[in-house]
Amino acid sequence: MVEEAWRERFRQRVAEVDDLFVEAFELLVDNARIHLEAQMLVGDAAAAARARIQLAQGALEDASGKLASAMSLTVGAKLLVLRGGSHDPLMPYHDIGHLGDEYAAEKNACAKLRGAEREAEEACARIGMCSGHLETISLLLDHENLPGVNDLIENERLDAAVDDLLAAIGKVESGKKMANDARLDAWRARDRIQRVLGALGEASSDLAFAMSVMNGAKLLVFSDVIGIEQLGDQYFPEGNAGVVLHDSVEDVEEAFAMVDSCRSHLDAVLLLLDHPRLPGVDGLIQEELAAADGDLQAAIGNAELGTELAVGARQDVSGAN
């Protein structure tokens, strides 16, 4: 249950990339696009046009910065996987394909991150072209006597708002989906959790069966009505084994309860993985994983104690024979 530290850092990087794409998308859609929707004219309307251009340029610059940061984090996330997933951190792999099957979630996430990175690169290029058109409009606004200047400005605005900005928005939206899918993959310890839940289910069944058998063995020796003190000396080994089994059952019952609690925490993680936009979801998942780990360690400890006692009871009975 205790994961390599790099895996947690990798998930954090992927989550940051996802958030940056969302922020860049909102800047382009809810800010830059709005300022470029209306026509821009020289003369009395020039001041308002310049103000809108300035606001749009600011949003474009911020969005471009977010995308640049996302690309940088993508590279960092890949390096984390190549180093952390190698047999020797001092000799990182050169390709994601060299990672073992146990890192399938990280491999899938990296593949999606690479796609998101390509979309970000293209989006930044279109944002740069959009900014170029806006710079041209700013120059044209200073030449109101130029024949057909308003038509020239409109053509530049359409090139900026319709061609380049919409293309950038499309690329960011595509990259945003890839980044979100990568985030789900990174956390989609889902497959690993499902396998752990399967193993815990089998362990729970084994513990329940063990409790049933031990309780049956106790009843063969003495009941609540008779009591151990009523047994003759000739049954001392069996009586002693019955007492030991009683203590063993208590430990196994505690282990059973801890396994059940661990499964509940992992079920909660599976639910949280389906809500990546929930505020603080990464922290909530970490808390559930930590709680599950604590329960599992407690279950293992109690199961070991119960096993030792059961072995002792077996030795008592075997010695009598």
149-158 and 104-140 are packed helices; what angle lies between their axes, rounded to 10 degrees?
180
Residues 67 and 202 in one domain: no
Supply 184's token pair. Answer: 């789900």
Half-sphere exposure of 94 (CA within 13 A, CB side): 0
Note the pLDDT of residue 224: 45
Residues 156 and 253 in one domain: no
Residues 44 and 163 in one domain: yes
Residues 181 and 212 in one domain: no
Residues lower than pLDDT 50 in the chain = 1-3, 223-225, 228, 231, 234, 236, 320-321
* CA distance linking residue 42 with residue 148, whole number of Å: 11
Note the pLDDT of residue 88: 81
Boundary of a domain, candidates 151, 168, 188: 188
- Mapping DSSP to helix (H, G, I), strand (E, B) and coil, where does residue 23 land? helix
Note the pLDDT of residue 135: 95
- H helical segments located in the chain: 5-27, 33-35, 46-84, 104-140, 149-158, 166-187, 190-221, 236-273, 281-320
Note the pLDDT of residue 252: 79
Note the pLDDT of residue 96: 82
Residues 44 and 177 in one domain: yes
Note the pLDDT of residue 320: 47
| pLDDT tens per residue, range 53-69 | 999 999 999 999 999 99
Q: Tell me the residue range of the domain where 64 lies.
A: 5-188
190-221 and 281-320 are packed helices; what angle lies between their axes, rounded to 10 degrees?
30
Note the pLDDT of residue 234: 46
* CA distance linking residue 26 with residue 195, whole number of Å: 38
Residues 167 and 211 in one domain: no
Residues 210 and 227 in one domain: yes
In total, how many domains does the chain have? 2
Supply 306's token pair. Answer: 């119960």
Supply 198's token pair. Answer: 């399967």
In Å, how far from its chain's centre is CA 72? 19
Boundary of a domain, candidates 188, 204, 226: 188
Residues 40 and 116 in one domain: yes
Residues 18 and 164 in one domain: yes
Residues 199 and 175 in one domain: no
Boundary of a domain, candidates 188, 223, 245: 188
* CA distance linking residue 292 with residue 102, whole number of Å: 20
Residues 143 and 270 in one domain: no
Residues 179 and 199 in one domain: no
